[in-house]
Amino acid sequence: MKKKEQKIEEAKGLAQEFNTAEGVILAAYQGLTFSQQDTVRRSVKSAGNDFKVVKNTLLKKAFAESGISGLDEYLAKSTALLLVRKDFAAAAKTITKYARDFAPLAVKAGYLDGRLLNAKEVAVISELPSREALLANGLSTKTAPAQNFVSVLSNIPRGLLNVLKAVGEKQAAAEAAL
């Protein structure tokens, strides 16, 4: 049995983790086998995030301590906590993938940038392209005008060469006809 002081310290530690994390995703996990839980935990940890099973009362205290509100209503039955340390979209993608693969696992809610997210909003975020893909898309959009300009400029001498080549072939054909 943990003493009250230990629980308070544990809640404070969890609150500090919330404050340094990019976001939080809550999931129902009751019914997952140990092996399934371990698979999810390993996958989440390999991406630099954390997957924990935490008592709801401790989560309520930690949320209150960190100033996060609105998640208490999702703290019914068993709750797993995904602490997102980097790339919320990738973490959402991972947890929703496992929620499809392992039926008992289900996203309850999320919290990102001071905003409460319901399960559908977390699913929408999970469908976004990865951060790298978005950056690459933005970069290609930004460089497209310069690439198009270079292409237009390179077409001018190419067109001139094609005209000169056609004139030369026409003259060669005319000389051969004589």
Query: What dotted CATH number matches 4-128?
Result: 3.30.70.1730
**Confidence at residue 141, expressed as pLDDT on a 0 to 100 scale:** 75
CA distance readout (Å), 157 to 39, 160, 162, 164, 171: 59, 5, 9, 10, 21
Lowest-pLDDT range of 31-45, 93-107, 126-140:
126-140
The domain limits of the chain are 4-128, 129-178
pTM over 0.85: no
Which of the two residues, 174 and 40, has the higher pLDDT score? 40
Q: Which of 6, 8, 126, 11 is nearest to 68 (CA)?
A: 11
